Structure 1
Amino acid sequence: MNDKGIVNFRDIGDTVVAGGYLKLGYFYRSGEISSLNPQQISFLKNDCQLDSIFDFRSQNEVAKDPDTKIPGTRYFKDDILADQTTNGASLAGMFANGGHIRDAMLKTYEQIVLSDSAQAGYREFFNEIIQSRKPTLFHCFAGKDRTGFAAAVILKMAGASDEAIMKDYLLTNELRKAANAKLLEQFKQEVNEQQLHNLSVALVVDQDYLLHAEETIKQNFGSFAGYLKSGLKLDNGYVNEFRHAFVATK
């Protein structure tokens, strides 16, 4: 379904999970959706029949490249890292951090798990999708970190294997190849060699980042269930309700 040129776009449905598969047509993930053409707008409105769009980007990111409006959809501005002065998930953050960009990315995943704004933002997201039970698109700038983590949580709640979750997470590197090359070429003459290197590293997802998020969850909440309960403060029956709504049995 990634044939309309929307960067890093996919439906994470049809993933095999315990007892069945995640239903298609409910959870779409992507990079930012600014400057969409009429065909892309029609695709999201009519083919995907979107009900809501969750934008996980910062105020500065949204102001610079606002989402294209999709008629008939509800828009949620949900700044996941609002309380972090720096993060490696935004384009500006990707240029920073000297020669320590990998450490900065690992730190970003800790923030995604532990920061108050991330926990509040993801809580709003997960509560809304279970209440509406309608097609939702969620995205950030590149659709890889803030979005990649949200997709991983959805798949984990649905009962997907660690291998299936990692496969979807790493698919970003394939789907962003052209966009990443374009960005690197765009900034080649504008930044120094270190900054360009930082950008090239930060634009790619690494399995260690998601594994670090999982380890951060384990260390701080004991388990994934503990994260959902104490971190996101979701209802005790949330996972069962989620599976009832979005998992099709074999």
Structure 2
Amino acid sequence: MTEQQTEIAGPAEAVGAVAEALAEARSLGLRGAVNARDLGGYRTADGMVLRHGVALRSDGLNRLTDADLDALSALGLRQVVDLRSLDEVREAGPDRVRGLPVAEIDSAELSATPVTVERTTPDGVTLHHLPVFAADFDIYVALRNALADRSPEKQRALLGDGRAAAMMIGLYRWFVTDPIARERFATVVRLLAAPDGPPLLFHCSAGKDRTGWTAAIILTALGVDHDTVFTDYLLTNERSAAIIENIVDSFGTRGLMREPELLLPVFRADRRYLEAAFEEVALGWDTFERFWQDGLGLDDEVLAGLRANLLA
């Protein structure tokens, strides 16, 4: 691992490099998962390039069309990692991928328990359900309750005056400070680093927060510069802009919220959120390499496997 500064980069100085990274972050073109994209094409500090079709990130796979299923099948996926909570899976539905077994996660006691369901055929896909959610401030549950109540005053009390953004910043800090969350993110890295791991797709509901931090860990560990890491993270806003606009408008027209714009800090990627996660890394560990070793429990062998699988 090239030594990574955990200080947060300011505005991009290398505009050309960021523009190149933006162009190379390819959408998978899925209509039912608009934020599905490939980490391939990003360059590292030592001149290597991430391979295409190996490490894929996405929003939920429960709304995929038949054409989407064909596209994913063509990628030859070996593993799918679902970072959603049990409540999210129950309400939205399980992943819809050809060859992917369905996990039996209906029991409430499994809501925080990882579940792996092995592929049932040689060309099938293994499912890893690795729920990452903060029981003390589960944003998904909080928003669901706010919408169900339909009280403008309660909704503003929960989300207004910067509270929604503060909730998101707290979530990103929790990604780093909570040992169980760290272990779940580390598990995704281990799966990607295993000899038979990729092609692997990891996702949550929006493909923004849990997925975004996972991608940031992977890219940083491989030596991708901070500007590019943030560029990849903020691409969610381009990929999901139309859906976010439709959702916010529908909440207003359906009478669920008087001020649906209160939800924008939750739906959008914000540089401050990812900065908060890296700030927590810097508070707890001297370098990103130390966070890799002591915070995530990953070693040089995992890094070597990650580099072998992901870099060309």
TM-score relative to the length of structure 1: 0.91
Distance 2:91 2:310 in 1: 35
Q: Secondary structure of the equivalent of 1:193?
A: coil
Q: Secondary structure of the equivalent of 2:201?
A: strand
Distance 2:251 2:167 in 1: 20
User: Which moved further from structure 2: 210-219 or 30-39?
Assistant: 30-39
Larger Rg: 2
The superposition leaves residues 76-112 of structure 1 with CA deviations (integer Å, 9 ceiling, x where unpaired) of 111122x533233x37448563321111010000111
Map of 1:116 onto structure 2: 179
- The number of residue pairs the alignment matches comes to 244
Distance 1:111 1:93 in 2: 18
Q: Secondary structure of the equivalent of 1:22?
A: coil
Does the alignment pair 1:137 with 2:165?
no
Distance 1:218 1:26, change over 3 A: same
Unaligned 5+ segments in structure 2 are 1-26, 100-123, 147-154
Map of 2:6 onto structure 1: none
Map of 1:106 onto structure 2: 169
The letter of the residue matching 1:107 is G
User: Which moved further from structure 2: 50-59 or 221-230?
Assistant: 221-230
Does the alignment pair 1:201 with 2:291?
no
- 8 Å CA contact 1:86–1:93 kept in 2: the answer is no
Distance 2:38 2:138 in 1: 27
The letter of the residue matching 1:98 is L
Does the alignment pair 1:10 with 2:37?
yes
Q: Calculate percent identity across the aligned residue pairs.
A: 27
CA-atom RMSD, angstroms?
A: 1.8
Distance 1:50 1:80 in 2: 22
Which 4+ stretches in 1 moved above 6 angstroms?
none
Map of 2:135 onto structure 1: 84
- 8 Å CA contact 1:91–1:141 kept in 2: the answer is no
2:299 to 232, 235, 247: 235
- 8 Å CA contact 1:12–1:27 kept in 2: the answer is yes
TM-score relative to the length of structure 2: 0.73
Distance 2:142 2:241 in 1: 19
Unaligned 5+ segments in structure 1 are none
The superposition leaves residues 151-175 of structure 1 with CA deviations (integer Å, 9 ceiling, x where unpaired) of 1111111111111111111111000
Map of 1:53 onto structure 2: 80
- 8 Å CA contact 2:193–2:303 kept in 1: the answer is no
The superposition leaves residues 215-247 of structure 1 with CA deviations (integer Å, 9 ceiling, x where unpaired) of 100101222112111121112443233223321
Q: CA deviation at 1:117?
A: 2.4
- 8 Å CA contact 1:7–1:32 kept in 2: the answer is no
Distance 1:105 1:20 in 2: 33
